[in-house]
A and B are shown apart, each in its own frame.
Chain A
């Protein structure tokens, strides 16, 4: 049985722009074990507020370090911003079902990320650096401030396009405005991660064009281990836990309710 509960030391924790922060942990074991799309459950407080751990996808894992990209929006993430170099964090992980690696026949890999949902695609593009497919990232954010430099993606051979709700960066509108860029055909594989309306739009687009793909889902979680069944979402196969059956699901099996 692999040990999944560990204490890791904070190497750095700082804003990368006005919206997102990046936490870097000294976590050799985690860095080695984690696969793109998997997540960790971080205990942000030593007390009872907040009670639950907080789930985060892995942004990068290299050189014995693990990076987490997050946006302080609630009590858990706000507490996390106060962690400093040398602080220790109790972390469960890696958890959940990762993205399926694209086979050799896949010629076009399309990442579709909304907001902080773009995070797992950084690690995924690191892992897929040698894959011969053309790689495209469609990235949507509320404003220019909600996007960040995609230079690292470009360095991994990923072409990128941005849409913002207010048009302050890239195309004006939702990320679905960029769906026209997706090469249509059986050798295209879509990977999506973002807010539910975006995921529903990706699912509909994929269905209309006969494309296959996967989506990494988000839900309020307690245990992260498939024990409490608290994070279940509807799928064509009944309720499935985001933490244990997911977070990655095939686009076809997800059920989005209005």
Chain B
């Protein structure tokens, strides 16, 4: 049974990965069977300089989901490369590093630093974090997406993945812009801008006032967006949004996703990615498929 998939020139042993920000930098949990079985590891987004993140409260639970406004707390790219990356590479699973920056120049500088670090399977451009006090996200503009992807592609030695926001009128248009600018894949969706209110205190339940909604609650919207996007772009789509189990992941694969990422549910069940992988294998076997590519985009219309 062939489960391997490709993004650009990078080969991944299977299509199951984790959404950035949900696997943290929790090094001591990186040596488990669960982790070694992943198709790729995507650690939490790093920025050029360290960020302390947003003030508490940073998360709240909502029906079948959560709102977060962590604010990309991270130690900065140089510390990440020096201290975290060697451990991640040591796991023996392809590593996709997620980066976020304030300008196309800064994105390009970070890509060059990652070239120097060596040994990555891909770089994901987080064009869509809703918690950075920016009025417009890169991935809310075709022009801004084009510019960032083009700048990074001009220097980056690795395949480049553009991570898109669902907070747009037409996500397909942004995906097409990323593809035209040279992106080797698009990943979707990031979180939905959201808020929840404590009615006793009449205050937001999130310290940053608003945050991003993720989890099973958003899955049907994410599946629809992946399906529409995969039908229009030629590059691989990495699908994510509320995956808890193999059945959920299969929806994304059938919709056209080449890879799938478990996100929020990692917080509930650290074993979820492994269970998703095992469930996909069982489904392929039950349906007499020998290659994951038979499944990808097999939606009947």
Chain A residues engaging chain B, CB cutoff 8 angstroms: 1, 5, 43, 48-53, 90, 92, 219-220, 222-234, 238-239, 244
Q: Which residues on B sit within 8 Å (CB–CB) of A219? A: 56-57
Q: Is the CB of A51 within 8 A of B61?
A: yes
Query: Among the listed B53, B64, B73, B267, which residue makes an inter-chain contact with A48, where contact means beta carbons less than 8 Å apart?
Result: B64
Rounded to whole angstroms, the CA-CA distance of A234 and B270 in the bound complex is 27
Residues of B that sit less than 8 Å from A by CB: 21-26, 28-29, 31-32, 44, 52-53, 55-61, 63-66, 68, 70, 73, 215-216, 244, 264, 266-271
Contact B216 A227 (CB under 8 A): no
Closest B residue, CB atoms, query A223: B267
B32's nearest neighbour on chain A, judged by CB, is: A1
Contact residue among A92, A239, A244 (Cβ-Cβ distance under 8 Å from B73): A239
Beyond A92-B270, A239-B73, whether A228 also contacts B216 by CB under 8 A is no
Known A228-B70, A239-B52; further 13 A-B contacts with Cβ < 8 A: A48-B64, A48-B216, A51-B216, A51-B264, A53-B268, A222-B267, A223-B22, A226-B24, A227-B267, A228-B22, A230-B70, A230-B267, A232-B53
Interface SS of chain B: helix, strand, loop or mixed? loop
| CA A51 to CA B31, docked complex, whole Å | 26
Q: Is the interface of A mostly helix, strand, loop or mixed?
A: loop
Report the Cα distance A1→B27, complex, angstroms.
11
- Collect the chain B residues with CB atoms within 8 Å of residue A49's CB: 63-64
* Complex interface: chain B residues within 8 A of A224 (CB): 267
Q: Point out the residues of chain B lying under 8 angstroms from A220, CB to CB.
A: 57, 59-61
The 9 residue pairs across chains A and B that have the minimum distance between CB atoms: A227-B24, A230-B59, A223-B267, A222-B267, A48-B64, A226-B26, A227-B26, A1-B31, A230-B58
> B291 to chain A: closest CB distance in Å?
32
- A1 partner residues in chain B, CB cutoff 8 A: 28, 31-32
Residue numbers in A under 8 Å from B59 (CB-CB): 220, 222, 228, 230-231
A to B CB contacts below 8 Å, 18 in the list: A5-B270, A51-B215, A51-B264, A51-B268, A90-B269, A220-B61, A222-B66, A222-B267, A222-B268, A225-B26, A227-B24, A227-B25, A227-B26, A228-B22, A228-B24, A228-B70, A230-B267, A232-B53
Complex alpha-carbon distance, A90 and B272, angstroms: 13
Instruction: Determine how close the nearest CB of chain A comes to the CB of B71; give it in whole angstroms.
Output: 9
B247 to chain A, nearest CB (A): 13
Query: Counting chain B CB atoms within 10 Å of each CB, which of A52, A222, A239 scores highest?
Result: A222
**For the complex, what is the distance from the CA of A233 to the CA of B70, rounded to whole Å?**
12
How far is A50 from B244 in the complex, measured between Cα atoms in Å?
14
Report how far A229 CA is from B267 CA in the complex, Å. Answer: 11
Given contacts A51-B268, A222-B66, contact A229 B24 (CB under 8 A): yes
